[in-house]
Structures are given as structure tokens and as C-alpha cells.
């Protein structure tokens, strides 16, 4: 589970809107755009292709999921839910979100502990599926 939590943190850090002062509407637009990108494989592919670290990130995530399209999509869907929870927990403050994700890279367990019980259970279930896929 620690590996999947670390992958989620890395994924969210790469996909987060840039930090800075934004109007509430701009923040909502950025959140909506990020969620659409996480959930839509076509938008996601374009975003990853346009990012300097996108190719490496995609390769790392595909390696984690054993190349399974279904598990990869499930990972991105979970990332979208985590992103929504983080946005709510930080009041949409992009700087706080970035700091949370930076800390998560060194302490994925603490990151996982901040998730809602439902999302944490989804993380556990996905970790089991990924582990089973590797066998």
C-alpha cells in the first residue's frame, strides 16, 4: 500500500495546478480541469506528453500496474478522488496542497492516513489488486 500511496502522491504532484493566488472561480476551474484530465485517458495522454516528467511518470505508473489499462485507470480515478479530498482539506490552497504532496513523497503512510475511510479502503483494495497482478 505504501508504494501505491507514494505513486498517488507523485502523480498528484505532477498533475496539480501551479501554486499561486487565484480567484475562487479560477481555483474551481483548475480543479475541474485537473479532475477531467485524471479521469479522461485522452486528456491525460496529452497532458503527460506535454510535461517534461510525463513520460517517465506514465512509465512508472504502468510498471506499477503491470501494464494493465484497467488498473491504471483505477489508479487515476483514485487519484482524482484523493485530489478532491486534498482540495477540500486545504481549502483549495495550491501551496498547502503542494506542501502536503511534497511531504507525502517521504512519508506515504502519513499521506494515506489523511484520506477518508472510504478512499483509504479503495487504496487498500487497489494495492491488493496491483499486488495480485504482479504474481
Which three cell numbers mark 129? 489488486
Identify the domain containing residue 101 by its residue range: 2-134
Flag whether pLDDT at 20 surpasses 50. Answer: no
**Confidence at residue 112, expressed as pLDDT on a 0 to 100 scale:** 83
Average pLDDT of every residue of the chain = 81
Flag whether pLDDT at 117 surpasses 90. Answer: yes
Torsion over CA: 84, 89, 91, 96 (sign): negative
pLDDT digits 0-9 by tens, 85-110: 988 888 888 888 888 888 888 888 88
How many domains would you assign to the chain?
Answer: 1
**Confidence at residue 116, expressed as pLDDT on a 0 to 100 scale:** 93
Amino acid at each position: 500500500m505504501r508504494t501505491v500511496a507514494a505513486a498517488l502522491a507523485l502523480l498528484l504532484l505532477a498533475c496539480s495546478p501551479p501554486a499561486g493566488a487565484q480567484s475562487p472561480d479560477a481555483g474551481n476551474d483548475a480543479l475541474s480541469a485537473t479532475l477531467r484530465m485524471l479521469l479522461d485517458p485522452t486528456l491525460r495522454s496529452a497532458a503527460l506528453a506535454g510535461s517534461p516528467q510525463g513520460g517517465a511518470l506514465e512509465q512508472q505508473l504502468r510498471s506499477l500496474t503491470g501494464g494493465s489499462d484497467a488498473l491504471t485507470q483505477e489508479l487515476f480515478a483514485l487519484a482524482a478522488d484523493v485530489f478532491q479530498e486534498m482540495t477540500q482539506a486545504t481549502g483549495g490552497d495550491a501551496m498547502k496542497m503542494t506542501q502536503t504532496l511534497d511531504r507525502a513523497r517521504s512519508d506515504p503512510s502519513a499521506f494515506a492516513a489523511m484520506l477518508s475511510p472510504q478512499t483509504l479502503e479503495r487504496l487498500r483494495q487497489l494495492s491488493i489488486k496491483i499486488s495480485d497482478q504482479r504474481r
